[in-house]
Amino acid sequence: MEKQFSAAGQGLMRIFFGVCLSAAYVLLNTTGLLLGLMPLRVLSAITCLAVFFLVFVGLTAASVADSGYRRAIWFSRLGAVVGLLAALIVDNSMLIFALAVLRQLMELTGLVLICRLSSRLMEERDGDVDSSRGEMTWRLCVLCGVSSILCACGAMFLADNKMLLAPITVYLVLQLAGRLVFMVFLYRSQGALQRH
């Protein structure tokens, strides 16, 4: 069983690096959309592929410990495809928005699965572990994700207005805050699972 915990911890560390890189994806894609710079959007598509690769490898490694991580792989795949499409569409802002919301929902679903599975594994490994940390993490991340979707909706209505910068800034802050909370959880979880 110790090998399984270690494998899950190593997988979570790879997911951690993928989530770190996903912050760059959000910044590149949002900046590219806001400024209309296609090279930034292409770079964000490449970053999206790298994020998918890291998360996929991490989830595959973690699935040795719990097959539930395989479900998260499907959400990761769908999110990557949708993220690539959103990064490469040029002139249809409503379609880009719809794809961004769909990508966010796929990401949040995978995140909830990862948090629940990791909390359960940590509890199996060490009964004294506070398993509520995983629940608090996914609840905070879902709150940030849903709030950022609402900010993106506000940005859609202000598309030709000078007030556009306010909801976009709040969107970016919420996206990055959610990722930071998840990264802290992943880092602590992988440490708890790999501890000998």
pLDDT value at residue 161: 62
Per-chain mean pLDDT for the chain: 86
Whole-angstrom distance, CA of residue 103 vs CA of residue 122: 28
pLDDT value at residue 123: 86
Each residue's pLDDT tens digit, 131-157? 678 889 999 999 988 988 888 787 777
pLDDT value at residue 90: 67
pLDDT value at residue 160: 65
Each residue's pLDDT tens digit, 25-69? 888 888 887 787 888 888 988 998 899 999 999 999 999 888 889
pLDDT tier at 24, thresholds 50, 70, 90:
very high
pLDDT at residue 89 is higher than 80: no
pLDDT value at residue 11: 94
Lowest pLDDT segment from 1-5, 93-97, 162-166, 185-189 = 162-166
pLDDT value at residue 162: 65
The mean per-residue pLDDT over the stretch 103-121 comes to 91
